[in-house]
Amino acid sequence: MQQKPDTSIITVQHLSHAFGGKTVLKDINLSIGKGEFVTILGPSGCGKTTLMRLIGGFLKAMEGKITIAGKDMTNTPPHLRPVNTVFQRYALFPHLNVFGNIAFGLNLKKLTQEEIKKRVMHVLKIVTMTDYEERDVDTLSGGQQQRVAIARAIVNEPEVLLLDEPLAALDLKMRKDMQMEIKAMHKKLGISFVYVTHDQEEALTLSDRIVVMREGEIQQIGTPAQIYNEPENSFVADFIGESNILNGIMIKDRFVEFAGHQFECVDKGFGLHEPVDVVIRPEDIYIFEKLEAAQFTGKVTSSIFKGVHYEMMVTTPEGFEFMIQDYNSFDVGQTVGMLVKPFDIQVMKKERLCNTFEGTVIDKSHIRFLGNNFKCDEAQRYESGASVKVSVDFRNVILHDNEEDGMLSGSVSFILYKGDHYHLTVLTEGDEHIFADTNDIWDDGDRVGISISPDTIQVAND
């Protein structure tokens, strides 16, 4: 999906940034086409706002290059960039009325008063705020302030409009209306929009392309349909919409095993018996009463009416839980049959199969990694001081309620439900990731102690 260079208005190359030693953006490469609506999507703290502020020029890039409209603008101050921003809290000037706010940029360009008036009136019409020009900005509602903020930006006819979570402060109904208006405005103006949000539904509705970010890195770039139907990893699958994510094994091309059953699928090119992640959207599982037609069966454990459909949880005899959305309701306790079509099974390469760390052998019974000395049975086979590769299975990482009970401590940063267990990402004090599989229920942000049993640490030569 990379745009050809001659049609792109913004190119970001190898962009990295850090705040006080903590990396917030890692080697970002991105190109935004002329007239394109690109959404940067991710949970809070993923670096999306930093990326936008770097494009706007409010932050100086530490590494990498930003090209706007064919010119290297990495070190250009914001007032010289052909980019305008709609700020999250609107940032309207309280000392100016609506007209004064919108005319701010035009006044700086030394246009004639007539020309300014003409252009202000024109954009007021676009944002449907005609007759509001004399109003004090304090007297406007949130939605109206939003419109003025957009008008103030687009009146300068920028090549790119940056929007930083512009709808975050509005209520749901207003947000839906404004989404449609922003989309219509984009069509009318024909300029590029770069839209930052944490709301996946908003991103799917508005964008030509979505950039999914997590912890300073781009996870996937694609059209809304691509992101939804073919997520590249379990994070994207989990973040965009609802999904069932399970561990699977690729038996052979077009044949995958998960939840104790084998399924036909459309994916190929994996190794024989390669472990994979499998994603099935809840609306893609067919559910019915006739058990003989089923690929697999299960018992309904809960059923909730969601307006258009019912959302049901079904547990299979093998102990896997599936979320299913269907227009028909099935009773709790009822045994049902289920079926998944091959093209509705999305198979993804696993990012990792176990935890791996760089380590150093301390003595016959200790190895140092993650900034700690761990007791390790296999250490005796290696010389003291040797550099080694340490690996630990997800299952063998033990999490404790009490931070003091662990050898090191961290906080849960991401939880993935895998149908029969949770896959947790824990961020250690030393800012490293450790992954753990567990049946216990943890919450995002929980502080945990981490320990690893000496006999489960595997060591190999570096």
Partner 1 sequence: MYFGKRRNWSIPYVLFLVFFVLVPLALIVLFAFTSEAGGFSFENFRKFLMHPEAMNILIYSIGVALITTILCLLIGYPAAYILSRMETSRARLLVMLFILPMWINFLIRTLATVALFDFLKLPLGEGALLFGMVYNFLPFMIYPIYNILLKTDQNLIEAAEDLGANPRQVFFRTILPLSYPGITSGIMMVFMPVISTFAIAELLTINNIKLFGTTLQENIYNGMWNYGAALSLLMLLLIGIISLLNTQGSARAAEEGGLI
The Cα 352–Cα 392 span in angstroms is 11
**Considering only residues 27, 35, 64, 104, which one is a binding residue for partner 1 as defined by CB under 8 A?**
104
Please name the residues in contact with 269: beta carbons below 8 A apart, sequence gap of 6 or more: 253
**Does residue 317 bind partner 1 (CB under 8 A)?**
no
Question: By CB under 8 A, is residue 231 in contact with partner 1?
Answer: no
Q: Where are the beta strands (DSSP E) in 34-131?
A: 37-41, 63-68, 71-72, 83-86
Q: How far is the CB of 65 from partner 1 (least distance, A)?
A: 21
Residue 105 makes contact with partner 1 by CB under 8 A? yes
Please report how close the Cβ of residue 79 comes to partner 1 at its closest, in angstroms: 5
In 3D space, the residue among 257, 286, 436, 284 whose CA is nearest the CA of residue 347 turns out to be: 257
Touching partner 1, residues 73-102 (CB under 8 A): 77-79, 83-85, 87, 89, 91-95
Q: Do residues 347 and 271 touch, judged by C-beta distance below 8 A?
A: no
The reply on whether position 319 binds partner 1 by CB under 8 A is: no
What order of strands is seen across the sheet that includes strand 310-315?
Answer: 285-288, 335-340, 296-305, 310-315, 321-326
Contacting partner 1 (CB under 8 A), which of 35, 58, 311, 409? 58
3-state secondary structure 406-462: CCEEEEEEEEEECCCCEEEEEEECCCCEEEEEECCCCCCCCEEEEEECHHHCEEEEC
Angle, alpha carbons 434-440-444 (nearest 5°): 60
Per CB under 8 A, does 166 bind partner 1? no
Q: Is 10 in the site for partner 1 (CB under 8 A)?
A: no
Task: Tell me how far apart the alpha carbons of residues 168 and 142 are, in angstroms, rounded to a whole number.
Answer: 10
* Contact pick of 4, 21, 44, 109 for partner 1 (by CB under 8 A): 109
CA–CA dist 218, 2 (Å, integer): 14
Q: Sign of dihedral through CA atoms 345, 347, 348, 352?
A: positive
**Residue 56 vs 216, nearer CB to partner 1:** 56
Q: Which is nearer to partner 1, 83 or 212 (CB)?
A: 83
When the beta carbons of 87 and 357 are compared against partner 1, the nearer one is: 87
Q: Residue 69, interface with partner 1 (CB under 8 A)?
A: no
User: Which of 153, 185, 388, 459 is close enough to bind partner 1 by CB under 8 A?
Assistant: 153
Residue closer to partner 1 (CB basis): 100 or 406: 100
Kindly tell me which of 41 and 83 has the beta carbon lying closer to partner 1: 83
Contacts with partner 1 by CB under 8 A lie at 56-58, 77-79, 83-85, 87, 89, 91-95, 104-105, 108-109, 152-153, 156
